[in-house]
Amino acid sequence: MKLSEIKHAGLVKWVNEVAALTTPDEVVVCTGSKAEYDGLIEGMVKSGLATRLNPEKKPGSVLFRSDPSDVARVEKRTYISCAKQEDAGPTNNWIDPVELKATMTGLYKGCMKGRKMYVIVFSMGPVGSAFSKIGVEITDSEYVVCNMIIMTRVGTKVIENLGTDGYFVPCLHSVGKPLAAGEADNGVWPCAPMEHKYIAHFTDDKVIWSYGSGYGGNALLGKKCLALRIASVLARDEGWLAEHMLILKITNPEGKVKYITAAFPSACGKTNLAMLIPTIEGWKVETLSDDIAWLRYGKDGRLYAMSVETGFFGVAPGTSAKSNPNALAAASKNTIFTNVALTEDKDIWWEGIGYDAPGTVIDWHGNPWTQDKANKEQAPAAHPNSRFTAPAEQCPCVAKEWNDPKGVPVSAILFGGRRPSTIPLVHMSRSWTHGTFLGSIVGSEVTAAALDVASGIRRDPMAMKPFIGYNAGDYFQHWLDVGAAAKDQSLLPKIFYVNWFRKTQDGKWLWPGYGDNSRVLKWVFECCDGTAKTVDTPIGIMPTVDAIDRPEGVSEEDMKALLSVDVEGWKKELEDVRKNHYPEFGDKMPKALWDVLDDVEARLDKASKPRRCCHCCK
Ligand code: TSX
Ligand code: MN
């Protein structure tokens, strides 16, 4: 499509300015059609950047290997750039926008030489929904265009919807690797050195500039940059929530439906939970989103969650027929794989796929690799952050309403983390404010490779720490404000904290997890209906030991361990929150959350003091 066909003067002006700065050979407006996608993939196969997979085993699918320096989001090069540093807050890198724009303009000068510049007009959320946001990504990466076509709604319909003066978020991206005359990528992943990489969010004018990386959240600007960081700012200003949450639909044996959202730090199996297959008779779980949810009040006063993406950009290693057959099915065709291993018969393989590597495979560096199970130190064949980009509609358990422009009414919000001790299998907050407190203290144990945190817990409030586009203290206050704005507190979702990762003293998993988590979801469901068996505890509302159906292999003792309050452990936990976590947010930390901390500590104190029933037993 030609730029002259676009009727939006502001968009055309911006595109022309960017073209003048970056000097591409050609400007292409993306239509999002299958022919366009296929043509771009074909071009990348020809240039050696992509490998076509076996059409019998993975029809319509390709493999990319990125540069070893460009394999993940780079938080140290990610910036919230606004006039006042305080507005970026303690959790974000900050550079003054005047300075950062000057630096990046210098880098963008001539950076698309020898390349095509693509204009991707995309919608986060269904096209035309009052809650959707349109973005326009300008990029010089065909890989980005193809991923955006899977992950978002791209092209003609969105351009039409944008009209002559519709609002859009400008998203500028370049891999930062211009080509000399006659030069081609020749199979080399284009990107710039680390010190030239920038992922910048100009939050005062809601503009995204990304330079130097072609990978994932650094480059697919609709996802983390727009739908979380910029959207969180819009959400604060407009009174809604942009959250790092999956959305699932759960149906009980009587056919009653509820919708649950859930936020977890990385490596907790969020995609697995979104696509869970229940082990309890008659229950069903379906998926609306595995990563991002936008929540706002409906006319009925309930909080609605809308799914904003159209695909899954999932971590490949660990995905198996056992852990997540639905994700494997979603990625069985028309999928882009990045940095996984390639088998001799042009299929894919990765660590934790559920079977041994067949013969010698090509690892993510492009080198022959033969599995050596005796060698615990062997470098993996697939990069630990290797990915599949798969269309949501290919997921066998996608809910029919995943596309609904008004979203779905939320009954429960789950927070969770990877916690071998202290945190029980599940507990429910006493109120929205207490639930916000639980979200604010979310954390996961740090892995052996990164023992940089004294407590061994890395806090990741609401699993949003890297994605809050403004001051995190203000974000906590915004959560409280959203709850306070409910026209009826009883219509608010109930908020839970779950922990699938409890271990015994000798390091064995106490809970089988995966499909058996449906037993916890059942209790959550019952809490929302007011039929659950509950007990009030110092930390919140918990299931009685017999309230949750016990999976095979879990003894009654185990269940008691999973569902008891570790009073001393919780006191240490809250001391860490008081001394190390909350102070990070300084004056911006809402008093209401300090008050919850005081309240829970007082309840724990009361529980640990020997009770005096009368004068005779002092
Ligand atoms: O995704 C996971 N979930 C959520 C599933 C809906 N994982 C994988 C985490 C890494 C991404 C889990 N790992 C879960 C879980 O609930 N639980 C565990 C821990 C665990 C691992 C293995 C076993 C039991 C628990 N059991 C056996 O291997 C036999
Ligand atoms: Mn995510």
| Among the bound ligands, the one closest to the CA of 290 | 2
Q: Is the pLDDT of residue 576 over 60?
A: yes
Claim to verify: residue 584 and residue 599 sit in the same structural domain = yes
Nearest CA to ligand 1 atom 5: 514
How far is residue 608's CA from residue 420's CA, in Å, rounded to a whole number? Answer: 22
Residues with CB under 6 A from ligand 1: 267, 269, 272-273, 276, 318, 500-501, 509, 512-514, 517
- Distance from residue 354's CA to the centre of ligand 2 (Å): 23
How far is residue 158's CA from residue 121's CA, in Å, rounded to a whole number? Answer: 6
Q: Is 50 exposed, middle or buried (0-12, 13-18, 19+ CB in 10 A)?
A: buried
The CATH number covering residue 470 comes to 3.90.228.20
pLDDT above 70 coverage of the chain, percent: 98
In a domain, 107, yes or no: yes
Q: Which of 135, 496, 436, 472 is nearest to 309 (CA)?
A: 135
| Among the bound ligands, the one closest to the CA of 265 | 2
Residue 610 pLDDT? 73
Q: Are 472 and 91 in contact (CB under 8 A)?
A: yes
In a domain, 66, yes or no: no
The CATH number covering residue 26 comes to 3.40.449.10
- Distance from residue 272's CA to the centre of ligand 1 (Å): 9
Claim to verify: residue 14 and residue 96 sit in the same structural domain = yes
In a domain, 60, yes or no: no
Residue 454 pLDDT? 73
- Distance from residue 315's CA to the centre of ligand 2 (Å): 10
Q: Looking at the CA of residue 323, tell me the nearest atom of ligand 1.
A: 1
Q: Which of 431, 420, 419, 427 is nearest to 459 (CA)?
A: 419
Largest CA distance in the chain: 95
Does the model's pTM come out above 0.85?
yes
The CATH number covering residue 347 comes to 2.170.8.10
Nearest CA to ligand 1 atom 17: 513
What is the distance of C-alpha 616 from the center of its chain?
58
Claim to verify: residue 484 and residue 578 sit in the same structural domain = yes
* Token code pair at residue 482: 């959203």
| Among the bound ligands, the one closest to the CA of 264 | 2
Claim to verify: residue 215 and residue 272 sit in the same structural domain = no
Claim to verify: residue 229 and residue 268 sit in the same structural domain = no
Claim to verify: residue 210 and residue 119 sit in the same structural domain = yes
The chain-wide mean pLDDT, for the chain, equals: 97
| Residue type present at position 545 | V
Number of domains in the chain: 3
Alpha helices in 91-195 (DSSP H): 97-108, 142-151, 156-162
In a domain, 61, yes or no: no
How far is residue 283's CA from residue 258's CA, in Å, rounded to a whole number? Answer: 12
Percent helix, percent strand, percent coil in the chain, to nearest 5: 35, 20, 45
Please write the tens of the pLDDT for every residue from 446-483: 976 666 677 899 999 999 999 999 999 999 999 999 99
In a domain, 58, yes or no: no
pLDDT above 90 coverage of the chain, percent: 96
How far is residue 202's CA from residue 247's CA, in Å, rounded to a whole number? Answer: 29
Q: Is the pLDDT of residue 264 over 60?
A: yes
In a domain, 69, yes or no: no
* Token code pair at residue 539: 């930390």
Helix (H, G, I), strand (E, B) or coil at 273: helix
How far is residue 488's CA from residue 368's CA, in Å, rounded to a whole number? Answer: 61
Residue 609 pLDDT? 81
Residue 616 pLDDT? 60
What is the distance of C-alpha 349 from the center of its chain?
24
In a domain, 384, yes or no: yes
Claim to verify: residue 351 and residue 425 sit in the same structural domain = no
Claim to verify: residue 319 and residue 278 sit in the same structural domain = no
Claim to verify: residue 120 and residue 211 sit in the same structural domain = yes
Among candidate residues 373, 394, 415, the one where a domain is terminated: 394
How far is residue 441's CA from residue 364's CA, in Å, rounded to a whole number? Answer: 36
- Distance from residue 271's CA to the centre of ligand 2 (Å): 9
Region of 526 (left: φ > 0; alpha: ψ -120 to 50; beta: rest) is alpha
**DSSP type of residue 365:** T
**Ligand 2 (single-atom ion) residues, CB below 5 Å:** 291
Residue 327 pLDDT? 98
Q: Is the pLDDT of residue 224 over 60?
A: yes
Claim to verify: residue 305 and residue 352 sit in the same structural domain = no
Q: Which of 521, 470, 514, 479 is nearest to 498 (CA)?
A: 521
Claim to verify: residue 427 and residue 526 sit in the same structural domain = yes
For residue 366, the enclosing domain spans 314-394
Claim to verify: residue 448 and residue 367 sit in the same structural domain = no
Q: Is the pLDDT of residue 268 over 60?
A: yes
